[in-house]
Structure 1
Amino acid sequence: MKKRIYLIAVLLVVTVTVGTGFISKDSYDFSTFSTEGLELDYTVPTEAELMPFIAPVTPKFYLFLGKSYLGFKEALGFKESRGNYHIVNDYGYMGKYQFSRATLRMIGFKNTDNFLYDTRQQEAAFLAYTSLNKWVLRNDIKRYVGKTIGGVKVTESGILAAAHLAGAGNVKKFLRSAGENRFEDANGASIRYYLRKFSGYDTSHIVPNKKPRVI
């Protein structure tokens, strides 16, 4: 008899417990609930404490410049110096576009001491020198663009890039000798290589200038 009463009591407790588990939370009255007098301990880590456990996120940017003038000069600057404005190579060529002091003097630089630290001057020097080369090679651009010389289809941007490497005079010799008169710089870069690598960029807006000056 006692076992039976005990079993009924247990079943009753289980039934009440399970039943109250399905009661909506809205039926509870929390109006009298209070934490007053309780000793609460919150240990929330600071941002500085969490940093060692958070993997650093490096933002990635992809800028597609295509065959624009900006794409042309950035591609050439990357080839010359990896885009480093502050570098001087073993032969004394300076900056992002690797200018010699003689070339800089030719386009108006009287003092080159600050050249490596002035990015605007370097960009202006590139445009000035390119406009000078376009003037020197203006007839060759008209004559040879679209033709294949030395196995390379000639474009205006390729000619201007090659002139940046070797000088306009050497580019003239290469084109007028049908690619027989070749040139390579101290690093082994050739006019033919630059004609191909920098082919097809839009350099049409560069105005030929016989006497460009960077102020």
Structure 2
Amino acid sequence: MQDPTSRAARLALDLALTIRHDGHGGVADDLTGTDGLTAWVRAHPDVVPDAAAYTADAATLTAVRELRSALRALFARAVRPAAPSPADATRLLPVTEALARLNAAAARTPTVPVLLWPDDAGPVVRHHPAHGEIEPAALLAQAAVAFLAGPDRQRLRACHAPRCVRYFLKEHPRQEWCEPSCGNRARVARHHERHKRPA
């Protein structure tokens, strides 16, 4: 069973990774519309209770995108003195604004932990609203707070392979890239740079 801190890290990281390389030299955003957010929440059942039936609206999309912007700014701070993701380098929110956004989102819906223990699996903790409906941005913000204040933050890195804009958790001391394919691209780029013939 995955511990709550690891789940929070994964959820916060997955939200940040909705900004990604588009495969053509640019940056893609998986949350450009309500359909994108709906699909993302359904693929992440920890975001809201009954995520499989979730449908996003425009206000929630705006709230989640604003939260993601704050989260990526705080990720950039967490990886200092290393450089942030190239997708963020020129458009980071000031840290004070990012913190204010994150904390405001986390406070929107008070939640309580609820223990679930199905017959065919181990126990899991889900957060349910203390009163009324839960806002996805609130649960995502609470996961981000748990991650940024937890021990996994020390393993957060920005991948600086050519065309990559991802953040990742460093799994072993020699890991430099988010994926082996990024390491391959970086090595190829260095090789080409070393072997360029002067014009």
Larger Rg: 1
Higher relative contact order (CA 8 A, sep 6+): 2
Q: What TM-score results when the alignment is normalised by the length of structure 1?
A: 0.25
TM-score (ref. length: structure 2): 0.26
- In terms of fraction of residues, the more strand-rich structure is 2
